Copies of this chain bind each other. A is one copy, B any other.
Amino acid sequence: MAQATAGKETGANLPFIYREYSPEQLRQALHKMYLIRRFEEGAEDSYTRGLIHGTMHLSIGQEASAMGICMPLTLDDQITSTHRGHGHCIAKGAEVAKMFAEFFGKTTGYCRGRGGSMHIADVTTGNLGANGIVGGGLPIAVGAALTAKRTKSERVVVSFFGDGANNEGAFHEALNMASIWKLPVIFVCENNGYGMSTSTARSTAVANIADRASAYAMPGVIVDGNNLSEVAEASHEAVKRARAGEGPTLIESKTYRHRGHSKSDRNRYRTKEEIEDWMTNRDPIMLYETQLQEFGVIDQAGIEGIREAVRQEIADAIEFAKTSPSPEIANLERYVYTEPL
């Protein structure tokens, strides 16, 4: 998104995004956050009705993180995503219809029904894919950044991962290589407090994931992951640094998932109060909506308009997915190898 001055009020005290983006862009961001939320609610609902099988990992509650990080990215920039990747995919520009189609296992899906939720990707908008392997995307992002550097492009690469992933060897090896080679890559740890059932306190020797940045001689930045402007500001800084050839940044975005880890979570490791608190007092969409109104960027009618538009978009997308064709068994072995033209 292009930079512009925002809103009714101006001045240096405004939160970052109100200085950086136009009101229209700010409203679009809200639109996208709703799109993420409603997409996942729709997926959850379809799952319950048996229209989607397998499992899925919902990022409800983490929308500001995905959105904020992607705001300074262009379509040419790339991301690697995670098992909890629907938000990243939409924030980076994917169409929800093709995402639903993928979840429904259809040929019109982004992965032609071969990948599902855990491998959702839209290479055309720069999403190299969700990943079923915790930490699996980090080295790949470093490789993509190596391409960006070797081809002297302006491109930056963002690698999303969770707090749990920070204890994988892949994290260590990837951050070290990105740093010594000064690659244009941004490591975004979405710290939602738990890797599955294991809290960071029980799994991780340091209090903040960003505390590990010093082990790779890169900046480590902590942001409130439910505050869109804070996330976007950190992303802006890191993108600037990366494009200037100054190397990688580690951003830790503190957030929370409202839902269970996946569809098979008995939720024994978090208290009802904790979940309740994040849902009612720190919902990123609610916070952003309130702020937008406060700064006069949108009014209640505008919000209703967005909600209604999103509702329609989701309904259409599900319809598209439902009516799309399934792959043919005869094509089982297609896409294993690159067919000669």
In the complex, which range does the number of interface residues on chain A fall in? 20 to 34
Partner of A214, one of B170, B172, B215: B215
From A178, which residue of chain B is reached at the shortest CB distance?
B205
**A139-167 at interface with B (beta carbon < 8 Å):** 167
**A165-210 at interface with B (beta carbon < 8 Å):** 167-173, 175-176, 179-180, 202-206
Q: Confirm or deny: A4 has a beta carbon within 8 angstroms of a beta carbon on chain B.
A: no
Q: Confirm or deny: A211 has a beta carbon within 8 angstroms of a beta carbon on chain B.
A: yes
Q: Confirm or deny: A217 has a beta carbon within 8 angstroms of a beta carbon on chain B.
A: yes
Q: Which residues of B contact A215 (CB under 8 A)?
A: 205-206, 211-212, 214-215
Interface of chain A: mostly helix, strand, loop or mixed? helix
Partner of A205, one of B205, B206, B218: B218
Q: Confirm or deny: A288 has a beta carbon within 8 angstroms of a beta carbon on chain B.
A: no
Q: Confirm or deny: A103 has a beta carbon within 8 angstroms of a beta carbon on chain B.
A: no
Q: Which residues of B contact A202 (CB under 8 A)?
A: 180
**How many Å lie between the Cα of A38 and that of B218 in the bound state?**
44
**Is B203 in contact with A180, judged by CB distance below 8 angstroms?**
yes
Q: Which residues of B contact A168 (CB under 8 A)?
A: 169, 172-173
30 contacts between A and B (CB under 8 A): A167-B172, A167-B173, A167-B176, A168-B169, A168-B172, A168-B173, A169-B169, A169-B170, A169-B171, A169-B172, A171-B172, A172-B173, A176-B204, A176-B205, A179-B205, A180-B203, A180-B204, A180-B205, A205-B216, A205-B218, A206-B214, A206-B215, A206-B216, A206-B217, A211-B214, A211-B215, A212-B215, A214-B214, A214-B215, A215-B215
Closest A-B pairs by Cβ, 4 of them? A169-B169, A172-B172, A179-B205, A215-B215
Where the two chains meet, the residues of A that have a C-beta atom closer than 8 Å to any C-beta of B are 167-173, 175-176, 179-180, 202-206, 211-212, 214-218
